[in-house]
Amino acid sequence: MEDADSAWKKGDYASAATLYRSLAEQGRASAQHSLAKMYENGEGVPRSSAEAVKWYRLAADQGHAGAQLYLGGIYETGAGVPRDYVQAYMWYSLSLAAGQDEVAAHGVRQVKESMTWAQIVEGDRRIREWKPKPTR
């Protein structure tokens, strides 16, 4: 991970993407999150919302708070996925619970303003039932 982070900091995005991908494919949540950001920004890989969502989701499913925060924003805005306030609320809330305080709290407040009571209830149910997948 250190080599990938170092390559990214130096602007060697192609090398960073290769290194992150290798770790991400092994299930490393932090590498999945970093690779997702690279796809979102088109750094060393073609810009792809679908690939970004795929890698964010894999990291978020393992409990990576940063990936959960990004997924909340993606589902709130519909950037590369159908807009889904229940998903946005769930991911923002999980991120908030994992320590992403200020931004996640703002996301929860923001998205709740667009939700019906039934959607909030559904989101709360999903939050209660969510369990992180084992990390590697």
Closest CA to 15 of 3, 33, 26: 3
The per-residue pLDDT for range 35-56, each reduced to its tens digit, is 999 999 999 999 999 999 999 9
What distance in Å separates the CA atoms of residue 86 and residue 75, rounded to the nearest whole number? 8
13 versus 1: the higher-pLDDT residue is 13
What distance in Å separates the CA atoms of residue 126 and residue 44, rounded to the nearest whole number? 35
What distance in Å separates the CA atoms of residue 69 and residue 60, rounded to the nearest whole number? 8
Return the structure tokens found at 99. 């320590």
What distance in Å separates the CA atoms of residue 107 and residue 93, rounded to the nearest whole number? 8
The per-residue pLDDT for range 66-96, each reduced to its tens digit, is 999 999 999 999 988 999 999 999 999 999 9
Q: What is the CATH number of domain 2-129?
A: 1.25.40.10
- Rounded mean pLDDT of the chain? 94
Question: Amino acid identity, residue 15?
Answer: S
Q: What's residue 39's pLDDT?
A: 97
Q: What's residue 24's pLDDT?
A: 97
Q: What's residue 83's pLDDT?
A: 96
